[in-house]
Structure 1
């Protein structure tokens, strides 16, 4: 008695757009149920589609575990192709007017820690209220990964710090994003207005969790200048970091916008950092030589805070 091979490589693959959207959604959400919900499918229907995709592919595409589902090695290959196909499919609909409302759809926005803490909550709610047909998927990553994703077309827009490759990315400045030193009132340095980080010596510091992209940026650049930070405690967000400083756990380095938010309600002082790596500027980035959809352009205009109608227009 023969048993059918569930991974029959003799079959041609016939994935449809819904299959690809589902697979991308599961990979992005990290789980079958959450991914199915993103594309409006029930869990049983999503599971059936994934099993059929794996049978057509002749291999497992997802590693299913108690904590969720992650693409396998072959699944990651499919994921890259699926993103590219869906991107071209959406662009075709936009350019041919097949979507009915050219603004309807989703925009993939990747942002760094500073933008996620300040610019996104300030700007995105008003945009969503004004454009009910547009959905925005925001992900937080380090600036280097964001720029790589913009170049590869994995996101429609990115907010990051440079430098950028002008051959691959169009970028417009949004606003300065300097890093500052936050100290408690009564700290020996509290009377200073600005200083180089070296002036802190071996003082106790608090920071964000070690795998936070901004914290890695701070510690890497500080170490390159010979300043090895003595981190006594780590927390997950800027609000908790400011409270740690106010309660005397140590000083902290964070974006000025985040420091200003807590300065009025906590007993802390903000000092400008003179180190070159602390003078940053947020950039709004998109892939070069790729025509953006109407909704991507509308979000870019909103985030650029009233710049020209096309913020990516160059002379």
Structure 2
């Protein structure tokens, strides 16, 4: 004899009500039928599942173990029904995505275009946030997926690899550093900086690098937009640490110079952060799988 879903459902009802009579009422069965099902399960388990008392029942250690796995079975069944129902008429739903400026500028637009072409009935709610704010949003459930640099503490969130990029210095054409092809970040710390927002992962990385060199950064200007940072550098108001692709776009206009960094930390890993990899909705998993595809070797 094999375990069947009806018997497991009855067992869960008994475990949750701690009473055979109440479970029988809940399941619209006679108490004798409930008792027979429990006896059959105990025979399959080879151990008692319940302890009978004058006012009800309680679980034995074997019963606690069976309850744990029975609940997992029903959770999986619920997910299976939900996911299969999504295929009727096309996958639908809303995915809330919070991402760093780097991810939004460098990677996401063409990848999201491909995703929406594949799943036209899924809606995306996208917000540009700093690293710490992304972690908070995913942790409190206001975002389904967060995309940010892996040097931002994830505070217990699960993460998956996404992309990598490289940071460089953008300097005005007339700046003394414009003659340099490459350098260490510490050698630029005496310069005026156009810096990102104080809560951004990029600013956290800059301050960590400065502390490692025994120095501090006193930004001349702090703004939250990469585009604004580039324009302020072009205006000669300071130098900026930004992803190379962002700086190269400004360099093609002939208004700033890109200076590569020799530091190993300038190679950044960007990750996708979620609360729980095992219990996310199918729509969220579909987006994650789509976004991971370009970064998956082979």
> For this structure pair, what is the TM-score category when the shorter chain's length is used for normalisation?
0.5 to 0.7
Q: Does 1:125 align with 2:95?
A: no
Counterpart mapping for 1:16-55 below 5 A: none
Give the gaps of 5 or more residues in structure 2. Answer: 1-77
3-state SS in 2 of match to 1:204 = coil
Alignment of 1:34-113 (within 5 A): 94-95=82-83, 97=85, 100-101=88-89, 103-113=91-101
Aligned-partner Cα distance in 1 for 2:186–2:134: 30
Cα offset, 1:241, TM superposition? 1.4
State the alpha-carbon separation in 2 of the partners of residues 307 and 217 from structure 1. 25
Q: Which of the residues 156, 167, 179 maps onto 1:191? A: 179
Q: 1:120 Cα shift?
A: 2.6
Structure 1: any 5+ residue segments left out of the alignment? 1-89
Question: Is residue 171 from structure 1 mapped to residue 160 from structure 2 by the alignment?
Answer: yes
CA distances 1:273-299 after superposition (whole Å, capped 9, x unpaired): 234543311112334442443322332
Report the counterpart of residue 299 of structure 1 in structure 2: 287
What is the root-mean-square deviation of aligned Cα atoms in Å?
3.3
Taking the aligned partners of 2:136 and 2:264, their CA distance within structure 1 comes to: 24
SS of the residue 1:176 aligns to: strand
C-alpha spacing 1:295/1:267, structure 2 compared with 1 (3 Å): same
Corresponding residue for 1:257? 245
Work out which of the two has the higher radius of gyration on C-alpha atoms and give 1 or 2. 2
Higher helix proportion (structure 1 or 2):
2
- Residue of structure 1 equivalent to 2:204: 217
SS, match of residue 258 in structure 2 = strand
Q: Structure 2 vs 1, CA of residues 101 and 211 (structure 1 numbering), >3 Å: closer, same or farther?
A: farther
Q: How many pairs are equivalent?
A: 219
Determine helix, strand or coil for the equivalent of 1:203. coil
Distance 1:261 1:126 in 2: 23
Q: Does the 8 Å contact 1:113/1:214 carry over to 2?
A: no
Give the aligned partner of residue 130 of structure 2: 142
Change (3 A) 1:275 1:119: same
Distance 1:302 1:95, change over 3 A: closer
Counterpart residue number, 2:43:
none
Q: TM-score, normalised by structure 1?
A: 0.58
**Equivalent residue number for residue 6 of structure 1:** none
Contact persistence 2:132–2:200 (CA under 8 A):
no
